[in-house]
């Protein structure tokens, strides 16, 4: 039995759209910060039984096609034909509403490959995790990470920009809504690819934003990192508003928070908003401003739930 832990990541330049769905190749490169909150622990055991089994906490669930794809790859790489028993636990504060496929598939890739005695490099693990979920390719690494779009299976992998982040960047995750009906990220991005007339401009602009973000990270410029991230997030969301039929991940509260964030900036604080395929925004700020920012938000919208995140580490084996 091998057990691994992986943390979620927040994309500062988003992955949104698959050029090749079967091979999980994205249209554009993406760039993220791995967080120190919200992790998944997954154990894998290869045993002599007929079918793969999957447990989420103590509950048996059907083995999803994505999980199967990762397990099948591990079997083909290792020459094993045994079935796998996968047990996974999400360590996401129940209030955070931030369950993540990134941490789940990064943990699965690390645990399954170790259970099969594969000695994969970090790059190979990133490729393996990508086959479960695109954003998981980045959670193999800590700190700031870039996922190169690549042109084929072997050239589409993530690698760290800097695993140790020694400047005071902080991410404030805000819970606005847990219960909304969701357009899952895979379906949402596919709708944008197929029906948004702005999609090609999105992919091109996101690719061009990567070197700009790398420069801002090298300069430890939190304002520039946040500004680039907010612009990129809104460009991604423009491909959902311009899809046919149109859809959005913004909830009324999300827009309200964005408005307040822009107001906070007029007070001279660095505070920027990013949003994934759900209504819960993440704010990119300076650690020393967190109290002022939460007080400001609290006064305007009481009873929001906040989780303060800092840069986190890459996926690790916790038991062999
Ligand atoms: C908006 O990685 O969840 O969070 O590859 O279909 O599993 P699949 O999608 P997923 O999409 C993440 C989309 C995003 C942006 C990002 O994390 O880059």
Q: What is the mean pLDDT of residues 199-228?
A: 98
Give tens-digit pLDDT for 21-75.
Answer: 999 999 999 999 999 999 999 999 999 999 999 999 999 999 999 999 999 999 9
- Cβ of residue 186 lying under 6 Å from some atom of ligand 1: yes
* Protein residue closest via CA to atom 6 of ligand 1: 186
Whether 200 shows a pLDDT value over 80: the answer reads: yes
pLDDT tens track for 231-256: 999 999 999 999 999 999 999 999 99
Report CA(267)–ligand 1 centroid distance (Å). Answer: 33
Locate the ligand 1 atom nearest the alpha carbon of residue 134 and give its number: 5
Answer yes or no: is the C-beta of 88 below 6 A from any ligand 1 atom: no
Distance CA 17, CA 2 (A): 32
Mutational pocket test of ligand 1: of 67, 132, 135, 277, the residue with most ligand atoms within 8 Å of the beta carbon: 135
What average pLDDT does this structure show over 163-188?
A: 88
Q: Answer whether 240 contacts ligand 1 (Cβ < 6 A).
A: no
Minimum-distance ligand 1 atom for the alpha carbon of 132: 7
CA dist list (Å): 47 to 68, 116, 145, 163: 15, 10, 35, 35
Looking at domain 2-165, its CATH architecture is 2-Layer Sandwich (3.30)
Mutate to test the pocket of ligand 1, among 6, 234, 277 (most ligand atoms within 8 A of CB): 277
Q: What is the pLDDT of residues 253-276, one digit of tens each?
A: 999 999 999 999 999 999 999 999
Q: Can you tell me which residue has the tokens 């939190």? A: 222
Compute the average pLDDT of residues 188-217.
98
Calculate how far, in angstroms, residue 302's C-alpha sits from the geometric centre of ligand 1: 30
3-state SS class at 113: helix
Residue whose C-alpha is closest to residue 253's, from 198, 308, 300 = 300
Domain 169-309: CATH superfamily is GHMP kinase, C-terminal domain (3.30.70.890)
Residues carrying CATH 3.30.230.10, the chain: 2-165
Question: Are 287 and 150 spatial neighbours (Cβ–Cβ below 8 Å)?
Answer: no
Alpha-carbon distance 279 to 276, whole Å? Answer: 8
CB of 134 within 6 A of ligand 1: the answer is: yes
In this prediction, residue 93 carries a pLDDT of 64
Give me ligand 1 centre to Cα 16, in Å.
Answer: 7
- CATH 3.30.70.890 residue window(s) in the chain: 169-309
| Atom number of ligand 1 nearest to Cα 14 | 18
Q: What is the pLDDT of residue 179?
A: 67
Strand-pairing partners, residue 272, are 284
- pTM of the predicted structure, to 2 decimals: 0.97
Tell me the pLDDT tens digit for each residue of 84-134: 999 999 987 655 556 689 999 999 999 999 999 999 999 999 999 999 999
100 CA: nearest ligand 1 atom? 3
> Is residue 135 within 6 Å of ligand 1 at its C-beta?
yes
Among 185, 207, 210, residue to substitute to test ligand 1 (most atoms within 8 Å of Cβ): 185
Confidence of residue 177 (pLDDT cuts 50, 70, 90): confident
Q: State which ligand 1 atom lies nearest to the alpha carbon of 186.
A: 6
Helix (H, G, I), strand (E, B) or coil at 166: coil
Q: Give, using CA atoms, the residue closest to atom 1 of ligand 1.
A: 276
Whether 165 and 171 have beta carbons less than 8 Å apart is answered as no
Q: What is the mean pLDDT of the chain?
A: 95
Among the atoms of ligand 1, which is closest to the Cα of residue 30?
18
147 C-alpha to ligand 1 centroid (Å): 12
Of 35, 126, 140, 38, the residue nearest 90 (C-alpha): 38
């Amino acid at each position: 039995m091998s057990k691994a832990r992986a943390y979620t990541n927040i994309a500062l330049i988003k992955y949104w759209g698959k050029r090749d769905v079967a091979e999980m190749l994205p249209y554009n490169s993406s760039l993220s910060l791995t967080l120190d909150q919200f992790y998944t622990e997954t154990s894998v055991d290869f045993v002599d039984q007929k079918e793969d089994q999957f447990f989420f906490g103590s509950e048996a669930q059907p083995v999803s096609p994505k999980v199967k794809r990762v397990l099948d790859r591990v079997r083909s790489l290792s020459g094993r034909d045994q079935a796998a028993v996968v047990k996974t636990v999400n360590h996401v504060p129940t209030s955070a509403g931030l369950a993540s496929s990134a941490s789940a598939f990064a943990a699965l890739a690390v645990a399954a490959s170790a259970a099969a005695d594969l000695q994969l490099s970090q790059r190979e693990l990133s490729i393996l995790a990508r086959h479960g979920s695109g954003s998981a390719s980045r959670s193999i690494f800590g700190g700031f990470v870039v996922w190169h779009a690549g042109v084929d299976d072997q050239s589409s992998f993530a690698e760290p920009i800097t695993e140790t982040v020694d400047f005071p960047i902080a991410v404030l995750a805000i819970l606005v809504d847990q219960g909304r009906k969701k357009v899952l990220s895979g379906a949402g991005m596919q709708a944008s690819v197929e029906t948004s007339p702005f999609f090609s401009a999105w992919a091109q602009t996101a690719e061009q934003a990567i070197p700009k973000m790398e420069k801002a990270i090298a300069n430890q410029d939190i304002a520039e990192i946040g500004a680039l991230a907010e612009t990129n997030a809104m460009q991604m969301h423009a491909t959902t508003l311009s899809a046919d039929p149109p859809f959005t991940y913004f909830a009324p509260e999300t827009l309200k928070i964005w408005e307040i964030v822009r107001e906070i900036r007029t007070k001279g604080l660095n505070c920027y908003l990013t949003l994934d395929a759900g209504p819960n925004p993440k704010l990119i700020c300076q650690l020393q401003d967190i109290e002022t920012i939460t007080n400001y938000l609290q006064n305007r919208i009481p009873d929001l739930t906040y989780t303060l995140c800092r840069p986190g580490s890459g996926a690790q084996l916790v038991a062999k």
